[in-house]
Structure 1
Amino acid sequence: MTDSTRGILRAAAGLRRFRMHRSAPSPGLVPYAEHHWILHWDLREPHTQRVLTHPTVHMTFTTGGRARVVGIVRGVFGETIAGRGRVVGVRFRPGGFRPFLDGPVSSITDRHVPVEEIFGAEGRAVADAVIAEPSDAEAVALVERFLLARVPDRPDPLIAETAAIVARIAGDPSISRVDRLASDAGVGTRSLQRRFAEYVGVGPKWVIRRYRMHEAAERAAAGDEVDWAELAAVLGYADQAHFVRDFTAAVGTPPARYARECAADAGARPGPETIEG
């Protein structure tokens, strides 16, 4: 499947330091999971990768024994990798983790929860097996079997409906107002906000802003000259200054500087600290 780097900040630099692969879930998990992902690295020097997160929950199993469910991170997520290692992960659809959680998804927002806290001793046991398994394919199969055994007998139609609303936000940069989104979805604004808290983990306003920042960061990283005032207008901002403030707060650097950094990354060669395995 095609690997998108949307949300991975300064992706060109990062992809010289780790290898990433994604695979589609089995049919039984498609309503709940977007994909499985595998990250490998073999480094002489540590690398910190920053990610402008999506409105999705992840479950990850990392070399060294760490296994956790990562709720939506509203700031920039940073992870430092060093030495040699692997992460086996599942990215759930927006709303897709709700059936596996005893409570609203907002209860784990901005939290990294050990798998055993949600899935008990069986979760810890499968985590140990996944981390110890040398084959990527077999590790993914272990995760699949564990999750498939916990899929509810009756699908919740609100999961698909909520995922479709989130997909609409992602695909239409002109959406900037929650009341318009709610109206188009045929629900009240407060009802939509409650549903997002229950199923997604954050409010629809946050999702709108985050996808607008994804669009802006991707355009900045593309290497083409960007008319920032025009982009601000396309993304629903009344003025460029407001857009620049939001971008800087989300990404950590102003958009023009971020574009220059990405251009420099694209022209750089792998450093001696990187060992491609």
Structure 2
Amino acid sequence: MNYEERRPSAPLAPYVKCIWHLRRTYHAGEVGEVLWPDGCQELIFHYGASYSTANRSLPRAFFIGMLSHFHHLYADGEIRLFGVRLLPWGLSALSEKPVRCFNDRFVPLQEVFAPKSADLLPQLERKLADTLDISMAQELLEAFLLDLYAPDRIDPKITRVLAKLYGDPMTYDIARAVRDSGYSQRQFERRCAELTGLSPKRLHKIARFNQARLRLMFQPDLDLHECMLEFGYYDYAHFSKDFKLCLGVTPVQYCKWVRQMAAKLHGSQDVVFLQDEP
């Protein structure tokens, strides 16, 4: 497996979490990918073997909306993907379509953007098919995104507040976010839902879960009770319930899987996460 994440250029950084590339081989009958709620949405371009959900095959370019629970993707054979991971409010700077209408959906990418922009997608798909270089792919993807980019759709003040709520859920709570936004409680809830497709409470909860998941991903031998308390879970049943909803496994099963993957990839330079950067 080869996986790499790249930071976006400065103009897109407030709205794009990363641009990534994956190349791996799947075998018949195995789950290709487990997708979990992380507050982000994805633009996906895939080549090689076909990708599908449990119900249908997916087009070469598709969009993954905000997820509320885990989903499986399946493939059989070698596959190569380029992806753009949007921050929770990122789609609002790229499309005028209501964000919430894509929640828990996998849709052809052309349904997400205005017709003029959607017409450029076939050309972008062909160019991405011809490159194995993530740097070149990033240039192509960013040029496409910058053509769509309309930052004036979002007040930068609310973006900064949402970034704190999403990025630091253990020290920055909803009450502080409301106060810093300058909105009333109801106005803030409505604006958050418009920009992210989620209520502030749900966005905050997903952010907290993913902080816990990342801690266990990089420290799978960490005491689960210690991790649970660190991230504001006061009983194991609640902690385990969130893992089952979001990942389909318990925290114990997740840590076991992480250790198994770490053993397989030991010493490999083929997996690069943004969290690995100094």
How do 1:145-184 and structure 2 match up within 5 A? 145-152=143-150, 155-159=152-156, 161-175=158-172, 178-184=174-180
Whole-angstrom distance in 2 between the partners of 1:208 and 1:150: 28
Alignment counterpart, residue 221 of structure 2, candidates 224, 228, 237: 224
Aligned to 2:198: 202
Give deviations 1:154-187, integer Å, cap 9, x for gaps: 6345256325423344324245x53454235443
Whole-angstrom distance in 1 between the partners of 2:152 and 2:163: 19
Total equivalences in the alignment? 251
Deviates most, 54-63 or 128-137: 128-137
Alignment counterpart, residue 90 of structure 2, candidates 96, 108, 111: 96
Q: Calculate the TM-score normalised by the size of structure 2.
A: 0.76
Whole-angstrom distance in 2 between the partners of 1:219 and 1:159: 30
Alignment counterpart, residue 59 of structure 1, candidates 43, 46, 49: 43
Q: Calculate the TM-score normalised by the size of structure 1.
A: 0.76
Aligned to 1:263: 259
Structure 1 regions of 5+ residues with no counterpart?
Answer: 1-17, 271-277
Change over 3 Å in CA distance of 1:264–1:43 after alignment to 2: closer
Aligned to 1:38: 21
The alignment-based identity, stated in percent, is: 25
Alpha-carbon distance, 1:43 to partner: 4.2
Whole-angstrom distance in 2 between the partners of 1:249 and 1:42: 27
Give deviations 1:177-213, integer Å, cap 9, x for gaps: 5345423544332222111111111111112211222
Whole-angstrom distance in 1 between the partners of 2:229 and 2:100: 31
Change over 3 Å in CA distance of 1:107–1:261 after alignment to 2: same
Task: Establish whether residue 87 from structure 1 lines up as the match of residue 81 from structure 2.
Answer: yes
Whole-angstrom distance in 1 between the partners of 2:78 and 2:202: 35
Alpha-carbon distance, 1:51 to partner: 2.8
Whole-angstrom distance in 2 between the partners of 1:39 and 1:224: 27
SS state of the match for residue 75, structure 1?
Answer: coil
Structure 2 regions of 5+ residues with no counterpart?
Answer: 51-58, 267-278
Residues 96 and 159 of structure 1 are in contact (CA less than 8 Å); yes or no, is this contact kept in structure 2?
A: no
Give deviations 1:39-81, integer Å, cap 9, x for gaps: 2223455542213232122212222652122211111132223
Amino acid at match of 1:249: L
Aligned to 1:4: none
Residues 24 and 35 of structure 1 are in contact (CA less than 8 Å); yes or no, is this contact kept in structure 2?
A: yes
RMSD: 3.0
SS state of the match for residue 187, structure 1?
Answer: coil
Aligned to 1:273: none
